[in-house]
Amino acid sequence: METRHGESRVLVAGQQWKLWLAGAMLAIAGAGFLMPEGIGNVLAVPGVAVELGALMLCFVGMAWAVYAVRCRHCGMRLVLYAMTHQSIGQWLHWLLAVKRCPRCGTDH
């Protein structure tokens, strides 16, 4: 699909909120790993419960991103493809820049 300026839009346009939500979940999980006792004191729960909750939130956030961000035409899971076919430092950049689906070749 072409924009008004003639540029193709990225494949994940309209789905970037899903990546932001997954990123927020990972950031909250990171805070739980870094400050389990402090957060536990505020919530009146043991620090190990905070760590277990953070671990679960980390897995849920990544699994949800892998499942939710898809090609609208063929349903390919784009986050999973990016993580398995790009380097560890490039997969997110690739995901945010790709304009055509690697499987079906359609654009946004």
So what's the pLDDT on residue 108? 64
Residue 91: band (very low, low, confident or very high) from pLDDT cuts 50, 70, 90: very high
Residue closest to 101 by CA, chosen among 20, 15, 4, 18: 15
5-50 residue pLDDT tens? 445 688 888 899 999 999 999 999 999 999 999 999 999 999 999 9
Residue closest to 11 by CA, chosen among 88, 104, 85, 87: 104
For the full predicted model, state whether its pTM sits above 0.85: no
Mean pLDDT of 77-100: 94
Q: Please, what is the average pLDDT of the chain?
A: 90
* 31 in Cβ contact with 39 (< 8 Å): yes
